[in-house]
Structure 1
Amino acid sequence: MSRQIDFRSVSPHSADEVYATMVDPDYLRARLERIGGPGAALLEHSADVQGARYRLRLGLDAKDLPSVVRSVLAGDVTIERNERWTRQDSGRYVGDVEVTIMNAPASATGGMRLRDLPDGGSELNVRADVRVSVPLIGGKIEGVVGEQVKRLLAAETAFTQVWLSENGR
């Protein structure tokens, strides 16, 4: 079984500006330093105007995890996230994401879309399926993980907006 999550954010900045920021290695390192948790790092990176690929490591301190998750996972959690973006046209990008929670029966996969809005600004949509392979309580953990993913995406979006306003392209 899996749990689907949907996330949407809007920005006053164009999709081209948001894309250039989201795939910038300095931005990614700064974002990881601020909200990536213990051991966060940019592990791989390649990007240009046509597309990007990068792999991130994020960490979660065990004390910050909900009890239902701590009952299945021992200690801190390490997450690897692979993202790939492709430029479709000016102001339109599509991507996919794969998330692996190391040493845990949990993962997520999904798609992303970044596009200009007709009246200005841009919109980012993320749709992902969270899977937790634990009998009986897997569905409950999927719900908790899904909410954590939404919180992380919201924090990343807020960080991106601040970064764009301070480091405008």
Structure 2
Amino acid sequence: MPSRFEHRATFAAQAGDVFSTLVDEMFLTARLRDLGGKSAALLDHHSTGESAAFRLRQGVDGSKLPSVVRSIVNGDLVVEREERWRGYESAGRATINGVPADITSRGRLTERGGGTELVISAEVKVAIPLVGGKIEKVVAEQVTKLLAAEAEYAEKWLAERA
């Protein structure tokens, strides 16, 4: 059974500014440089006024992986993510090299009390008998930490440019 989780982040900025930042090519490139790990790269990026789509790669050093993941992944972990935004709503998907895993997400920016809240609902499915559930939980925990770090990075970026 897939592992589901939700992540919430708040920003002092208005939703339009948060959206513009989260899909900005310069922001994404800087975020990947600072948080993306080994071999991080922005692989594709398209943006118009109210929509955006991008694909990126992030890496995790194999020595930093939990043992349950190291048992099935040889070497470093490479994650490819894609996000599509229409207005203040997103749909995302991620895959992990060498792991029959699928991560899907939906996000929404909402104006809240002079700021903005980002809510991301996600699901992790790992199709490995016996250990798939354990790996799903590890992946969900790691993705939650990554989303928190990315939100903190975005908040700092917004504050520096206000």
Q: TM-score, normalised to structure 1's length?
A: 0.93
Where do 5+ consecutive residues of structure 2 fail to align? none
Aligned counterparts of 2:30 and 2:18: Cα–Cα separation in 1: 15
Q: Would you say 1:97 and 2:126 are equivalent positions?
A: no
Q: Would you say 1:4 and 2:4 are equivalent positions?
A: yes
Alignment-derived partner of residue 15 in structure 2: 15
Three-state SS of the structure 2 residue aligned to 1:105 is strand
Q: Would you say 1:166 and 2:160 are equivalent positions?
A: yes
Where do 5+ consecutive residues of structure 1 fail to align? 88-92
Q: Would you say 1:137 and 2:140 are equivalent positions?
A: no
User: Which letter does structure 1 place at the counterpart of 2:81?
Assistant: R
Alignment-derived partner of residue 90 in structure 1: none
Deviations 1:73-95 (A, max 9, x none): 111011110100001xxxxx111
Q: TM-score, normalised to structure 2's length?
A: 0.97
State how many pairs are aligned.
162
Aligned counterparts of 2:71 and 2:91: Cα–Cα separation in 1: 30
Alignment-derived partner of residue 24 in structure 2: 24
Shift of 1:165: 1.0
Aligned counterparts of 1:66 and 1:74: Cα–Cα separation in 2: 13
Alignment-derived partner of residue 128 in structure 1: 122
Alignment RMSD (CA, Å): 0.8
Aligned counterparts of 1:2 and 1:60: Cα–Cα separation in 2: 22
User: Which letter does structure 2 place at the counterpart of 1:163?
Assistant: W
Aligned counterparts of 2:143 and 2:126: Cα–Cα separation in 1: 14
Shift of 1:48: 2.2
Q: Would you say 1:115 and 2:107 are equivalent positions?
A: no
In the TM superposition, 1:37-56 aligns within 5 A as: 37-56=37-56
